[in-house]
Amino acid sequence: MNATKVATLTATFALSLAAAARGANPEEVRQLLETQRCPRCDLRGADLEGVNLRGADLTGANLQGASLRNADLRYANLRGANLTRATLIAADLLAVNLTDANLRLADVRGANLKDAVLTNANTCGWQRQDANLMGANLQDAGCFTNPASQPTETPTPTPTFDRAAAEALIRRWLEAKKQMFAPPYNRALLRNLTTGILYADSLNAINWLQNNNAFYEYGVQRIESVNRFEIATDKATVEAQVTEDYTLYENGQINREKSDFSTNLIRYNLERVNGEWKIADYQALD
């Protein structure tokens, strides 16, 4: 790439950053645009219209008055974020986590909130005409005109989460697959075991299976060994050798390309949500 093109791209990014950072902390806007991770950042009044923030971590961020019109916020974590008077018109908020978020006077008209989690969210005065709320969890959401009156969870002692507890969680996930990815397509069980991207992707998979007369049949589902366990506050990482035997049936026929019987080294990323540990994502390392 020649120097002129580099200079042009640099200038373009600087102009985009300046536009986005109006009224917000420019360094934190830069952090968000470059890493898609900005928990507890000051993004008040930021112009993020049309920005791709898929899967972004905006936990506890202050987005008061921000413009997120047409933004891609699918699977993003906005737990506890302040979105007072934010503009989210036509934004894609598929399976977004808005637990404990403040959406007071926010504009979500035409937004896609399918399968979003809005537990205990303050929705006082929000505009939601034509918004898609299919499958959204609005438990305990409502109008809390006085922020101090918004319900808060009473802290309870959390049992120690150790290597054995992490292994037990992964084992439950493996054993539950035959109930989630085959009749009865148990979505409640999925919600109890997963969060974040894994929950959203698995929910999409269940919907596809159910809509296409398809299901998985499982044989051996076994943890052979746990090779690594690390924990830091509300996040943990587990690497384990896992044997899985599964067969995909579509319209009564076996799809051999999506069937397997193998042992792989899998890295699981776990998160504690409302005091409960869940699987947020995983990837094969072999």
Three-state SS annotation for 177-219: HHHHCCCCCCHHHHHHHECHHHHHHHHHHHHHHHHCCEEEEEE
How many angstroms separate the most distant Cα atoms in the chain?
A: 59
- 163-284 matches 20-152 in CATH topology: no
> How many Cβ atoms from other residues are within 10 Å of residue 39's Cβ?
14
With 80 as the cut, is the pLDDT of residue 257 above it? yes
Instruction: Write down the residue that tokens 């943990």 correspond to.
Output: 236
According to CATH, what is the number of the domain 163-284? Answer: 3.10.450.240
Share of the chain above pLDDT 70, in %: 86
Q: Any idea which of 1-10, 173-182, 227-236, 245-254 has the lowest mean pLDDT?
A: 1-10
- pLDDT score at 3: 41
At 140 the pLDDT is 82
- Burial group, residue 4, by CB count within 10 angstroms (0-12, 13-18, 19+): exposed
Share of the chain above pLDDT 90, in %: 67
**Can you tell me whether residue 169 is helix, strand or coil?**
helix
pLDDT digits (tens, 9 = 90+) for 175-222: 999 999 999 999 989 989 998 888 888 988 999 999 999 999 999 999
140: enclosing H helix or E strand: none
- Top pLDDT among 145 and 187 is at 187
What pLDDT is attached to residue 39?
92
* Mean of pLDDT values over 32-37: 91
Of 45-59, 128-142, 218-232, the one with minimum mean pLDDT is 128-142
Q: Which spans in the chain are helix H?
A: 3-20, 26-35, 163-180, 187-193, 196-211
Burial classification of residue 133, based on how many CB atoms lie within 10 Å of its CB (0-12 exposed, 13-18 middle, 19 or more buried) = middle
Looking at the domain 20-152, which fold is it?
Pectate Lyase C-like (2.160.20)
Residues 101-141 have pLDDT tens digits of 999 999 999 999 999 999 889 988 899 888 998 888 888 88
User: Which pLDDT value is given to residue 148?
Assistant: 47
Q: Can you give the residue ranges of every domain in the chain? A: 20-152, 163-284
The pLDDT of residue 1: 45
Q: How much is the pTM?
A: 0.52
Q: What average pLDDT does range 242-270 have in this prediction?
A: 96
